[in-house]
Structure 1
């Protein structure tokens, strides 16, 4: 063992957090969307001096309408994106079959642009191009940013959006289902949910949990307060 090897520090392995948010980010944001929008709806109806049953009906209707709307929109959006990606993948597949040499040169150019010397880039491209499936995967990942066979599921996206929105939207409705006659119990539950969701999101960032919680609570309260004022204005004016 040389003196350099003896003094070398052991290799440090580390893991990065999922900066894309994974499943947590869309789930939490879907729940927050349901919570803010439905509590604002309930607040607006309550501000118009509606009775307990009307407010409850509005909350349940808002939950159902929002959840189904979110699911339908997410399904169509993800399905359209996947269909477009599949069409472009098929274009790339045909190009690889018709012009393999040109595609191999194109792939080598991608590696060269990233700082690989021309000879090494050409050799890597040649080896990758021997397997049509591997070549297709590399080309689509480099050119389209997607991987064949690993496209997002529209059904999964729709189902997760429906569930997360419904969970959030149910929170301000629960006090009315349990017999609450005023907006205050729903406001307390909604405030706790907003703060908790904001703190949870802050947990995957560098922000303090209290900062994320207070920020989400502030924005949610502002939305509900404005809607309440609109409801009170319309209710008292007799419209």
Structure 2
């Protein structure tokens, strides 16, 4: 049985009734919905098979919800079930990716798929089914966020490193080449830019991540302060000042301090230490440094390739710019997928920024070098 949605006019009511009529067109559409629900359920089961604990249970819960949706379309089709396809190409590809990889990219794609539900304009879909699909998107967003946090420190260094390598070395090579330098000088400049930039990026990431972790460690209470709790004056209760300094309101601090003192035993601590190792979004210093170094070097190598194989002047410039442009589109699209936004928009933005910077240095080389 399909719950009726409210309609505001007789025209709307007519459209609604037409959407529920057992016409060949509607039956085909219902079959398509059923195929998609089956495929989406398979995606969640494949993802669950690669996880454990709470995440596995959540994904299996989503798969069970998709089965409820399947039953709705099966009941609606009845004797018109016929042959059900394998779902849309997008959903089938998602299932293959879930089976092969099952990582954050698949979750991010699943998040986008849930956000593009077709049920908003589907008269035969109950209101609770539309609500389910929208909530599913938020559930998947939460799971994707967990995965992003686990990889974000190293991934951030890798993406920034690759993009910096692509843009900075292309700009360097085009600027030097436009100034009229020889092929050998351009090639040498490219390799020098690669090594210098990779070392600089690696060192910078190491210092940055180390500093963040040191700042977290600095928030932890001094070890000897824990032992002072048992000797505090219960009436004065200066322990409350500690908790007020750490962000509690006056009453909250007083209540918490009284609770700590009342339950005091040997080994009671002033406050839990912050474990920097648990802050996955920060990453590790050596992991961030190595990722940044390697990805900067790999990005910076791409614009050198045409010069390395002997391409000259404008041919080398065109080839180098094309290769870097494709790489910028790829990295931009990856960031777009992971962030849950439009891959195309992020890719084009990355391309415009990168080629804009390269064009500026090329123009500068022409202006000061007198042309290639």
Global fold match (TM > 0.5): yes
- Structure 2 residue runs of 5 or longer lacking an equivalent are 1-131, 233-237
CA contact (8 A) 1:30 1:161 kept: yes
- Structure 1 residue runs of 5 or longer lacking an equivalent are 1-9, 142-146
Q: Choose 128-137 or 50-59, whichever is displaced more.
A: 128-137
Match of 1:96 in 2: 226
Match of 2:24 in 1: none
Give TM-score, length-normalised by structure 1: 0.74
Q: 2:215 aligned with 1:215, yes or no?
A: no
Q: Choose 42-51 or 15-24, whichever is displaced more.
A: 15-24
Which of 165, 189, 212 pairs up with 2:296? 165
CA distance in 1, matches of 2:195, 2:265: 53
Instruction: Give the number of the structure whose alpha-carbon radius of gyration is greater.
Output: 2
CA distance in 1, matches of 2:262, 2:358: 60
Q: How much has 1:128 moved relative to structure 2?
A: 9.6
| Residues 111, 232 of structure 1: alpha-carbon distance in 2 compared, 3 angstrom cutoff | closer
Which of 154, 162, 167 pairs up with 1:31? 162
The residue correspondences of 1:49-64 to structure 2 (distance < 5 A) are: 49-64=180-195
Q: How much has 1:54 moved relative to structure 2?
A: 1.5
CA distance in 1, matches of 2:215, 2:155: 26
Q: Secondary structure at the match of 1:203?
A: helix
**Deviations 1:107-156 (CA, angstroms, capped at 9, x unpaired):** 5997965x98986x56875799768597643xx44xxxxx2555753222
CA distance in 1, matches of 2:227, 2:323: 60
Match of 2:360 in 1: 226
Which of 320, 331, 334 pairs up with 1:186? 320
Q: How much has 1:165 moved relative to structure 2?
A: 1.0
Compare relative contact order (CA 8 Å, sep 6+) and give the higher one, 1 or 2. 1
The residue correspondences of 1:1-239 to structure 2 (distance < 5 A) are: 14-15=139-140, 16=142, 17-18=144-145, 20=149, 22=152, 23-89=154-220, 91-99=221-229, 102-103=238-239, 106-107=242-243, 113=249, 136-137=271-272, 140-141=273-274, 147=275, 150=278, 152-181=283-312, 182-236=316-370
**Deviations 1:49-86 (CA, angstroms, capped at 9, x unpaired):** 22222211111100000001111222233334444444
Q: Secondary structure at the match of 2:222?
A: helix
Q: Choose 51-60 or 147-156, whichever is displaced more.
A: 147-156
Match of 1:7 in 2: none
Q: How much has 1:24 moved relative to structure 2?
A: 2.4
Q: Secondary structure at the match of 1:180?
A: coil
| Residues 53, 128 of structure 1: alpha-carbon distance in 2 compared, 3 angstrom cutoff | farther
CA contact (8 A) 2:332 2:347 kept: yes
| Residues 225, 99 of structure 1: alpha-carbon distance in 2 compared, 3 angstrom cutoff | same
**Deviations 1:33-64 (CA, angstroms, capped at 9, x unpaired):** 11111111111011112222221111110000
| Residues 125, 205 of structure 1: alpha-carbon distance in 2 compared, 3 angstrom cutoff | farther
CA distance in 2, matches of 1:128, 1:190: 63
